[in-house]
A and B are shown apart, each in its own frame.
Chain A
Amino acid sequence: MERFVIIGAGAAGIRAAQTLRKFRPEDLITVISIDDTVHSRCMLHKYLGHERDAQGISFVEADFFEKNDITHIAGEKVTKIDTGLKMVYYGEQYSAPYDKLLIAAGSGFFIPPIPHFREAPNVFGFRDFSDALKIDEAFLKGKRVFIVGSGLVGLDAASALCERGAQITIAEMAPRVMPLQTDDYAASIYQKAFEAHGCKFLLGVGATDAVVDEKGNITEVILATGEHIPCDFIIMAAGVRPRIEIAQNSGIAAERAIQVDDHLRTSAPDVYAAGDCTGLSGVWPDAAAQGEAAAENMAGIDTVYEKPYPFKNTSNFFGVTMLSVGRLDLTEGAEILIHRTPKEYKKAIIKDGKLTGYLSLGDISNSGLYLHLIKNGIDVSGKTDKIFRLSFSDFYGINEKNGEYAYSVS
């Protein structure tokens, strides 16, 4: 009987546990997580917005661990791994032996080195369930919120709190909101939607200093322009960093992220890594796919994991939906096609007959096709005149064996 241990209960960790159970019905599976409950990071704003309770933002059934006969060690932080003895240490004095180990510790929020920001007790991240609890508590005392960063995490937090009557200021270093996913026009649509709900944006400007009270709490953020913005607390949404402390404490190769090979193996024997802590990608589907691939390898099923490509994400704020794939900024030598109506905005970047970037704002149904075209470098040179009206019908094929579809590309 083999002993499988998984560190982390996010997208990668849970998918790995499910996959291991599928292939190894009899073996011992243990999940160790910092959070007490399983929750979807992508739904944290629904908890903060008081739209759902803790179980409502879980992505597994309440009896997931019992039903699958998986031991869940909850609320414990792994401190170190002894890769020689094959032992995981957690909490003050506990240890768990393993035959195969998966590190799926995720990523943590990053606080830039702005004076007072790293020490102030009223500066929060928005990654873990515990972060949402802290913000919820702080919100009881004051409703003036300063958010650093207008990416998906920052806007998630803003959308949740503005529904609860917060006075929100969002500072973004880039000249537009959601700079990674948008172009100027798409960004302006989102900016207007948030402004209509009372949020204020400060674009192209960063925080450089802060005024603190006697307890070290930041009471005013000082901008690069010298302006002072009073606030009750701060949410940091200026990017994340892979959690590598466990690897570093254990002699497992890690620089910015935990290094993995194409089987998601780390430098230590029988230790695998998946999800954000590998630095390969930052989106849910990729993390889950890594958890699955790593678990298959742990179960002895040889699985090569292809690096995720391209960049992709979706967003949905106040009913404004957007899909963003590939690189919208690499436009040199490329053809840029735009389709704009009062309800829709679509943009395609085409280079050498292939799609390299695609943006869709409005009804994003059917847009998975474009991700597939970019991911697989499928030639669209004869189809550029109807690039925004493409469907699977243009690549129609059927796998006669199982009745599924198959892309037919010439």
Chain B
Amino acid sequence: MKRIFIDPTKCDGCKNCSLACMEAHRQDGGTGIYTLDLQDPSNQSRNRILTDGKGGYNPIFCRHCDIPDCAGACMSGALQKNMDNGLVEYDAEKCAACYMCVMSCRYGVPAISPDRKRVIKCDFCAHLEEGPACVRACPKKAIEVREV
């Protein structure tokens, strides 16, 4: 399986990854970062860059864990570990918005949607042939896709 590896020492907090994530998942049909509505809660990024309190940054990205607590806690079958590609995949149609996944992810990755009807979580940009938009947007190579 592939995983986005993180080197926090290289991150300078530019948040290009977050913008790329928002752009890759926008639902309004538009393209191009200049027309992206940054204030629309439905455009929420699936990754977060947080400060480490010492001048550096800690990127928070879904790990698509080997043993995913989110999928282990899912009572609807919406979150499942795909054993073929290693991804923890999410099916919003099945999701019952019980938020057991939110409770169970110790890293705080799945976020609850503004309408409280689903979760927002990294899908590894499954719809993009070229792979995760965040990785391609990082000017410092602080995140990169590697085989594990």
List residues of A whose CB falls within 8 A of some B CB: 11, 40-43, 46, 58-61, 283-285, 288-289, 292, 312-314, 316, 319-321, 323, 325, 363-369, 371-372, 391-394, 396, 398, 402-405, 407
Instruction: Decide yes or no whether B131 CB sits under 8 A from chain A.
Output: no
In the complex, the answer to whether A59 meets B75 with C-beta atoms within 8 Å is yes
Least CB distance, B86 to chain A, in whole angstroms: 11
Residues of B within 8 A of A372 (CB): 106
In angstroms, Cα B99 to Cα A404, docked, is 22
Q: How far is it, in angstroms, between the C-alpha of A368 and the C-alpha of B73 when the chains are bound?
A: 12
**Residues of B contacting A283 in the complex (Cβ-Cβ under 8 angstroms):** 100
Q: Complex Cα distance A313/B75, Å?
A: 13
User: Which of A11, A46, A313, A403 has the most chain B CB atoms closer than 10 A to its own CB?
Assistant: A403
B 83-135 contacts with A by CB, 8 A: 96-100, 102-108, 110-112, 115-116
- Interface status of B15 (Cβ within 8 A of chain A): no
Residues in B whose Cβ lies below 8 Å from that of A314: 98-100, 102-103
The answer to whether B50 and A285 have CB atoms under 8 Å apart is no
Contacts of B104 in A (CB 8 A): 285, 368, 371
Question: A43–B6 contact, CB under 8 A?
Answer: no
A289 touches B116 (CB 8 A): no
Alpha-carbon distance A365/B118, docked complex (angstroms): 12
Contact between B100 and A405, CB atoms less than 8 A apart: no
Q: Which of A61, A312, A391 contacts B50 (CB 8 A)?
A: A391
Taking a contact as CB atoms closer than 8 A, the residue among B96, B97, B102 that contacts A323 in the complex is B102
- What 14 new A-B contacts, CB under 8 Å, besides A285-B72, A371-B106? A42-B76, A60-B77, A285-B100, A285-B104, A312-B103, A314-B103, A319-B116, A365-B102, A367-B102, A368-B103, A372-B106, A393-B52, A396-B8, A402-B66
Contacts A284-B73, A365-B112, A402-B3; A393 near B60 (Cβ below 8 A): yes
Separation of A314 and B102 alpha carbons in the complex (Å)? 9
Q: Point out the residues of chain A lying under 8 angstroms from B100, CB to CB.
A: 283-285, 314
In the complex, how many angstroms separate the beta carbon of B145 from the nearest chain A beta carbon?
10
Question: Can you name the residue of chain A whose Cβ is closest to the Cβ of B2?
Answer: A403
- Pick from B5, B51, B73: contact of A288, CB below 8 A: B73
- Neighbouring A residues of B8 by C-beta, 8 Å: 396, 398
* Cross-chain contact of B99 among A41, A292, A323 (Cβ < 8 A): A323
Chain B residues whose C-beta falls within 8 Å of the C-beta of A284 in the assembled complex: 73, 75, 100
The 3 A-B pairs with the shortest beta carbon distances in the complex, nearest first, are A366-B108, A285-B73, A393-B50
Q: A43-B96, A59-B75, A285-B73 are in contact. Are A368 and B108 (CB under 8 A)?
A: yes
A residues in contact with B65, CB < 8 Å: 404
- Taking a contact as CB atoms under 8 Å apart, the answer to whether A59 and B103 are in contact is no
In the complex, residue of chain A having the shortest beta-carbon distance to the beta carbon of B93 = A56
With an 8 A cutoff between CB atoms, is B26 at the interface? no
- Chain B nearest CB from A68 CB (Å) reads 12
Nearest chain B residue, comparing its CB with the CB of A407: B106
B87 to chain A, nearest CB (A): 14
Tell me which of A61, A313, A363, A365 has the highest count of chain B C-beta atoms within 10 A of its own C-beta.
A365
The verdict on B42 contacting chain A, using a C-beta distance below 8 Å, is: no
Q: List 11 A-B contacts (CB under 8 A).
A: A40-B96, A284-B75, A285-B104, A314-B103, A364-B102, A368-B102, A391-B60, A391-B108, A392-B60, A393-B58, A404-B3
B83 CB, nearest partner CB in chain A, Å:
8
Give B19-75 interface residues, CB cut-off 8 Å to A.
48, 50-53, 58, 60, 63, 65-66, 69, 72-75
Cβ–Cβ contact A321 & B99, under 8 A:
yes
Q: Is the CB of A403 within 8 A of B99?
A: no
Q: What are the residues of chain A within 8 A of B74 when measuring CB–CB?
A: 59
Q: Knowing A285-B72, A367-B102, A393-B52 are in contact, say whether A403-B108 is a contact too (CB < 8 A).
A: no
What A residues does B50 contact at CB under 8 A? 391-393
Q: Give every chain B residue within 8 A of A285 (Cβ-Cβ).
A: 69, 72-73, 100, 103-104
CB pair B112–A321 under 8 Å, yes or no, is yes
Most buried by B among A285, A368, A407: A368
